[in-house]
Amino acid sequence: MGVFQAVGWALARFLIKADLGRSQALALIANVNSTYGMLSSGSGLTFQQAVQQGFKSSVWVYRCIFELGQAVGSVPWKAFRTNEDGTETAMPGHELEKLMERPNPYTNRNEFIQAWASFLSLSGNAYWEIVKVDGKPKHLYALRPDWMKPIPDPILWLKGYEMDSGQAKKVLFQPDEILHFRYVDPTNDYIGCSPIAAGTLPIQTDAAAARWNKSFLDNAAVPGGILNIPSTAVKKGDRARLREELKEEFGGENLHRPMVLWGGMKWEKMQLTPHEMEFLKQRQVNKFEICALFGVPPQLVGANEDPTYANYEIARMSFWEDTVIPMLDWLQSKVNTNLAPYYEDNVVLRYDISDIPAFRKSFQEKVSTSRYLFNMGVPLNDINHRLGLGLKDYPWGNIWWAPMNLMPIDSGDISEEPPEVAEGEDEEEDLIPHES
């Protein structure tokens, strides 16, 4: 029994003695032991297998991960100060904004975020090392997931992280020195499950189909055949020699050379069976499954057989709304939770998609909608937040300005009851202009 497991058993005995319940103790033991086993032996595809069998072997896997990384990495980030009234004021040039724009001296924002998205797609995990100077994050480094291993703790849940590159000494990190992103794995509380692990079968099937196609083309796209030899034409000991001679004389580039046969020999060509033809069509299914794994529409990676401009525009908008923006929301929440508190000026980081080409047409539609809302009496700041226009909050934007004369209308100045009519006055007569 290892030290880690021994600590788990000791804590479980303590819980039992403390009358906290045998069920909690047994659950702790199971969690500690299963986590220890998974961290030591691993589960599913390794990072190296995902890279070799997926990223470097499948055009669809590579293109999906590349498309996702480019999209997420192209979005700029801006710093804002949260005011007491809930509004936000832009803080251009803030330290946190600069940190995201230039995480370290060797990497810019696009490369850094692209690596983040790629690591998540390939391993289900992404690790950032936080290098602090004077108590504030100064640099961020993306660490390879296959080098990193969380160190569980039966009391604190997480003791830290261990980095083992295989070429130098192991490095231990405190929990606050690593920012860990992970996809959910229901069977593991510390390590995420990658899309590659869920798509192992279609990825490997597509690779096998590609290899079959290549061997078929290497044979000049001609199916194999059968050399029908009468029993008296060739002696038993000469069959192996004849097979090698046929391969040398009529294989590869010599496939279509005329063949001279003797002794009643006949060459019979084989045809592709319907089953083999369906096998070729299976590649079409595989590429759609692979695209679904990463949330990338087939139109964006050239996997759609009948692309049109209208379908491409819809697919691009769907890609951003259903895949890219949720990833940006996750990244934004993680940064504001784990990095922003190091700064004392209530700073938050927001991604800015206002200048993304896919949203320019959508932005125009939002502007048209905002006009209707403004004419209905909705303040500009509320419209900005509701539609996500990406505008700054204006000091005068929390009240409604009447379109007729651009005078601010405060609900407190509007009487809820109509003005009283003095006795003896004719109400209808006052509404009719008098003739001079």
Q: What is the pLDDT of residues 359-369, one digit of tens each?
A: 766 677 778 88
Distance of CA 164 to the CA centre of its chain: 26
Which is more confidently placed, 324 or 156? Answer: 324
User: Could you say which of 231, 246, 281 is where a domain stops?
Assistant: 281
Q: Give residue 5's pLDDT band: very low, low, confident or very high (50, 70, 90).
A: very low
Per the DSSP assignment, residues forming a β-bridge with 269 are: 225
Q: Can you give the pLDDT at residue 364?
A: 73
Q: Of all helices (H) and strands (E), which one includes residue 408?
A: strand 408-409
pLDDT at 69 over 60: yes
- Of the listed ranges 19-28, 73-82, 99-108, 421-430, the least confidently predicted one is 19-28
Q: Of all helices (H) and strands (E), which one includes residue 358?
A: none
pLDDT at 28 over 50: no
Whether residue 434 lies inside any domain: the answer is no
pLDDT at 49 over 70: yes
Q: What is the pLDDT of residues 405-427, one digit of tens each?
A: 566 666 555 455 555 555 555 54
Round to whole Å and give the CA distance between 7 and 19.
19
Q: What is the pLDDT of residues 86-116, one digit of tens each?
A: 778 889 999 999 999 999 999 999 999 999 9
Q: Can you give the pLDDT at residue 271?
A: 59
436's tokens: 């001079």
- Of the listed ranges 65-79, 285-299, 371-385, the least confidently predicted one is 371-385
CB neighbours (10 Å) of residue 309? 7
pLDDT at 72 over 90: yes
Round to whole Å and give the CA distance between 161 and 54.
27
pLDDT at 274 over 50: yes
Residues 405 and 329 in one domain: no
Residues 49 and 35 in one domain: no
> 65, 72, 39: which is closest to 119 by C-alpha?
65
| Ordered DSSP codes for 242-295 | HHHHHHHHHSGGGTTS-----TT-EEEE----HHHHHHHHHHHHHHHHHHHHHT
Round to whole Å and give the CA distance between 305 and 118.
26
Residues 178 and 72 in one domain: yes
Residues 78 and 131 in one domain: yes
Residues 82 and 231 in one domain: no
Per the DSSP assignment, residues forming a β-bridge with 266 are: 228
Which is more confidently placed, 36 or 122? Answer: 122
pTM across the whole model: 0.68
Q: What is the pLDDT of residues 117-155, one digit of tens each?
A: 999 999 999 999 999 999 999 999 999 999 999 999 988
The mean pLDDT value of the chain amounts to 75
pLDDT at 6 over 50: no
Residues 190 and 140 in one domain: yes
Round to whole Å and give the CA distance between 30 and 12.
10
Whether residue 435 lies inside any domain: the answer is no
- Domain limits for position 12: 1-41
Q: Can you give the pLDDT at residue 250?
A: 56
Whether residue 388 lies inside any domain: the answer is yes
Q: Can you give the pLDDT at residue 19?
A: 46
- Of the listed ranges 197-206, 230-239, 287-296, the least confidently predicted one is 230-239
Whether residue 436 lies inside any domain: the answer is no
Structural domain total, the chain:
4
Whether residue 78 lies inside any domain: the answer is yes
